[in-house]
Amino acid sequence: MLGMFGATLLLAFREIRRHLLRSFLTTLGIIIGVAAVITMVTLGNGVTASVTSQISSLGSNVLIVFPVRGDRGAPRPFKQDDIDAARNQIAGVEDVSGSVSSSATAFHNGQSWQTSVQGVENAFLRARSVEVEEGRPFSNEEESAGKSVCLIGPKVRQAIFVAGASPLGAKVRLDNVSCTVVGLLKERGEGGGPDQDSDNVVMMPLKTVQRRFTGNDDLQYFVIKYDSAYASTTIQASLVALLRERRLLQGTAANDFNVVDTAQVNQALGAATGALTAMVAVIAGISLLVGGIGIMNIMLVSVTERTREIGIRLAIGALAREVQLQFLTEAVVLCCFGGVVGIALAFLLSWSMAGVIDVPFLFDPLVNALSFLFSALMGITFGFYPARRASKLDPIDALRHE
Amino acid sequence: MTADRSSTPPLIELEGITKTFGKGEAAFQALKGVDMRVERGDFVAVMGPSGSGKSTTMNVLGCLDVPTSGIFRFRGVEVQALDRDQRSLLRRRYLGFVFQGFNLLARTSAVENVELPLLYRGEKKAVRHAAAMRALDQVGLAPWADHTPAELSGGQQQRVAIARALVTEPAVLLADEPTGNLDTERSIEIMQLLTRLNGEGITILMVTHEEEMAAFARTVVRFRDGLVESVEHRERAIAGEVG
């Protein structure tokens, strides 16, 4: 039996070799289908990984709270009292920090650079996992007195400081406010949350920014870092209840603020990219199906074209099932060939496209193996009917066929 | 073996074979009760005008078709009772076919064509190749082993086909108008080859409509209107001349 299978395989290879161009064109559908499925899944994985790493740079177990337009009109900002209430009245809250920001032009040594000034407390740095690479965060005294000190982002440093020179202790002028650089922020990439660019920023104590830039004691949003032992939903429920009470929202009045959990954003984005990947994979799957029908078509043509050959084989003693096995093997070998070429093509495509769209290239062995198995399965599915037809031929009629 | 030949059944026995194609009004009876026997080692030429039933008889003898009624014994086994696969195995084991149109696989070398029947016997590659080369040598085509049919003359193609029929060392070689597509000179060569093979012991059944080719046979069976008209045994003068 093994000998027979080997012989069948040999015959299949001979037949494919005999019609090299036709075989290639026939399998093109499978090649494109397999390549598309694998490329899409691989790139989808890359995008998901990249989004996940950006989101996790926001910090985990963090809620971001910001005012939105409510029933009573324009968004009402938060005040320091809201922050204190959240800190003191909700169980599981570790750190709360409000934030305000304003755009400003930074000047140093004759250079200028458009950036944003963000007023924060040290608690904000902890909650959002903002790291100080050189120097130090704000001191308590600087925070409570609203001193003119600042932490500068890597892009600001690059723009207005000479490369190599330490900016620590230097004076930077922001619009008309002069401040002393006490620390350098570590590069964070694009995951900046509500702010556009987390690396192009100058951070100053909250009070300093309120006093010198915004001119009021409003907070644009605040972040809460909570103990991971508490469920996010519990904390959110308490927070919503507290804020509704403080903002005098009664009965069915809509919330005029939003609470966002970074983990939920992460999940939502993951689900979105997953759905997109699945959709594209389904489309690619349809192209695989079309490829399979192409295989069936060519196999049927091949059976008709080779009727005489089938007659010869039957006359010299081939069993019906051996003829069937031969044609089935041809279809499977064709499809597997398409699968292998498709996998190679997908590797090249996803590797180069991952570079272009700047996501990590994550080779997924499972998807590759499944795609290959699937293409073999297509060979069996779409090769079965033509092979059956070949095996049913009457040897006398087949030999007479012109 | 030759001594008690009388006690062994003849190689082939046909008794009252009929074959009807179609049904009802359109039915056509191609064979109307054919009786025929072929002894081992014979060289039989089957002759007759077209429509006389000689091709239908050959299809039955080649186990490619089953009779409507009657008994066909091959080596004592009743073939009409066998199913399709059993008849395939019978062909594989005992029969070799040579066709008028050569019926070689295109774009496939001579040696690969000759190897084909051995593939279905599950022989190993080395065995297949050696046997195929031996068969090609028997028909004088060993030097052309790697040529495809398109690169061979008609006579050479028919010799490849004969080598393919011989490679399994069959009991019977069935040849359907083997010289029908060849000129006289090539035809004579093919007939001399068949005569030589017959002299080596293989039983040959050949359909022909040319008296010149039938002259090489030991026995001539003539068909007319679905019946055997005459059976004529000859001395093997030609075989002796070639041998």
| The two structure tokens encoding residue B185 | 């000179």
Alpha-carbon distances, residue B4 vs A258, B8, B36, B37 (angstroms)? 108, 7, 21, 18
What DSSP assignment string belongs to B173-204? EEEESTTTTS-HHHHHHHHHHHHHHHHTT-EE
| Residue owning tokens 């006359």 | A315
The C-alpha angle B118, B123, B125, rounded to 5 degrees, equals 95
| The two structure tokens encoding residue A336 | 């597997």
Please report which helix (H) or strand (E) contains residue B56, including its range: helix B54-61
| The two structure tokens encoding residue B28 | 């056509």
Q: What percent of chain A has pLDDT over 90?
A: 24
pLDDT at A4 over 80: no
| Mean pLDDT taken over chain A | 86
Please report which helix (H) or strand (E) contains residue B94, including its range: helix B84-94
pLDDT band at A215 (very low <50, low <70, confident <90, very high): confident
Task: Collect all residues from B whose CB is shorter than 8 A from any CB in A.
Answer: 59, 62, 64-65, 84-85, 88-93, 95-97, 99, 103, 105, 107-108, 112, 116-117, 119-120, 122-124, 164
Segment of A292-296, A361-365, B86-90 carrying the highest mean pLDDT: B86-90
| The two structure tokens encoding residue A270 | 């993951």
pLDDT band at B240 (very low <50, low <70, confident <90, very high): very low
CB–CB contact A320 B91 (8 Å): no
Q: What is the pLDDT of residue B239?
A: 44
pLDDT at B8 over 80: no
Q: What is the pLDDT of residue A332?
A: 92
- Rounded distance between C-alpha atoms, residue A149 and residue A169, angstroms: 9
Q: What is the pLDDT of residue B2?
A: 44
| Residue B26, number of CB atoms within 10 A of its CB | 7
Alpha-carbon distances, residue B28 vs A1, A295, B19, B21, B24 (angstroms)? 42, 41, 8, 5, 9
CB–CB contact A317 B124 (8 Å): no
Query: Residue B134, SS3?
Result: helix
- Rounded distance between C-alpha atoms, residue A76 and residue A30, angstroms: 58
pLDDT at B241 over 50: no
Least confident of A164-168, A222-226, A298-302: A164-168
Smallest CA–CA distance from A16 into chain B, residue: B107
Of B64, B84, B105, the CB nearest to A315: B64
Best residue in B82, B98, B105 to probe A by mutation, most A CBs within 10 Å? B105
| The two structure tokens encoding residue A228 | 């991971």
Q: How confident is the model over B26-61, as pLDDT tens digits?
A: 899 999 999 999 999 999 999 999 889 998 999 999
Chain A positions touching B92 (Cβ under 8 A) are 316-318
Q: Which residues contact A57 (CB under 8 A, 6 or more apart)?
A: A129, A188, A189, A191
Best residue in B64, B66, B167, B176 to probe A by mutation, most A CBs within 10 Å? B64
Q: What is the 3-state secondary structure (H, E, C) of chain A?
A: CHHHHHHHHHHHHHHHHHCHHHHHHHHHHHHHHHHHHHHHHHHHHHHHHHHHHHHHCCCCCEEEEEECCECCECCCCECHHHHHHHHHHCCCEEEEEEEEEEEEEEEECCEEEEEEEEEECHHHHHHCCCCEEEECCCCHHHHHHCCCEEEECHHHHHHHCCCCCCCCCCEEEECCEEEEEEEEECCCCCCCCCCCCCCCEEEEEHHHHHHHHHCCCCECEEEEEECCCCCHHHHHHHHHHHHHHHCCCCCCCCCCEEEEEHHHHHHHHHHHHHHHHHHHHHHHHHHHHHHHHHHHHHHHHHHHHCHHHHHHHHHCCCCHHHHHHHHHHHHHHHHHHHHHHHHHHHHHHHHHHHHHHCCCCCCCHHHHHHHHHHHHHHHHHHHHHHHHHHHCCCHHHHHHCC
Chain A positions touching B90 (Cβ under 8 A) are 317
- Rounded distance between C-alpha atoms, residue A303 and residue B59, angstroms: 23
Q: What is the pLDDT of residue A101?
A: 86
| The two structure tokens encoding residue B29 | 């009876």
What is the 8-class DSSP label of residue B105? Answer: P
- Rounded distance between C-alpha atoms, residue B192 and residue B40, angstroms: 19
CB–CB contact A3 B124 (8 Å): yes
- Rounded distance between C-alpha atoms, residue A13 and residue B177, angstroms: 33
Q: What is the 3-state secondary structure (H, E, C) of B10-48?
A: CCEEEEEEEEEECCHHHCEEEEEEEEEEECCCCEEEEEC
Q: What is the pLDDT of residue B6?
A: 52
| Residue owning tokens 């929202």 | A249
> Do the Cβ atoms of A115 and A153 come closer than 8 Å?
yes
Q: Which residues contact A313 (CB under 8 A, 6 or more apart)?
A: A322, A323, A326, B116, B120
pLDDT at A109 over 60: yes
How many angstroms separate the CA of residue B241 from the nearest CA in chain A?
Answer: 32
pLDDT band at B82 (very low <50, low <70, confident <90, very high): very high
ipTM attached to this prediction: 0.89
Q: What is the pLDDT of residue A56?
A: 66
pLDDT band at B236 (very low <50, low <70, confident <90, very high): low
CB–CB contact A317 B93 (8 Å): yes
Within a 13 Å sphere around the CA of B77, how many CA atoms are in the beta-carbon half? 12
- Rounded distance between C-alpha atoms, residue A80 and residue A84, angstroms: 6
pLDDT at A227 over 70: yes
pLDDT band at B238 (very low <50, low <70, confident <90, very high): very low
Chain A positions touching B177 (Cβ under 8 A) are none
Q: What is the pLDDT of residue A194?
A: 47
Q: Of B243, B193, B242, B191, whose CA–CA distance to B217 is shortest? A: B191
> Do the Cβ atoms of A374 and A289 come closer than 8 Å?
no
Q: Which residues pair with A222 in a beta bridge?
A: A65, A98
Percent of residues in chain B assigned helix, strand, coil, to nearest 5 = 40, 25, 35
Q: Of A268, A269, A261, A358, whose CA–CA distance to A58 is shortest? A: A261
Q: What is the pLDDT of residue B7?
A: 61
pLDDT (mean) for A57-63: 74
Q: Which residues in B150-170 are b (16+ Cβ under 10 Å) and which e?
A: eebebbbbbbbbbbbbbbbeb
Evaluated on CA atoms A139, A141, A144, A145, the torsion sign reads negative
Q: What is the pLDDT of residue A262?
A: 75
Query: Residue B130, SS3?
Result: helix
Of A10, A311, A317, the CB nearest to B120: A317
Query: Residue B234, SS3?
Result: coil
Q: What is the pLDDT of residue B137?
A: 93
Q: How confident is the model over A12-37, as pLDDT tens digits?
A: 888 888 888 888 888 888 898 899 88
> Do the Cβ atoms of B45 and B217 come closer than 8 Å?
yes
| Mean pLDDT taken over chain B | 89
- Rounded distance between C-alpha atoms, residue A86 and residue A64, angstroms: 13
Q: How confident is the model over B169-179, as pLDDT tens digits?
A: 999 999 999 99
Q: Which residues pair with A153 in a beta bridge?
A: none
Q: What is the pLDDT of residue A59?
A: 67
Query: Residue B64, SS3?
Result: coil
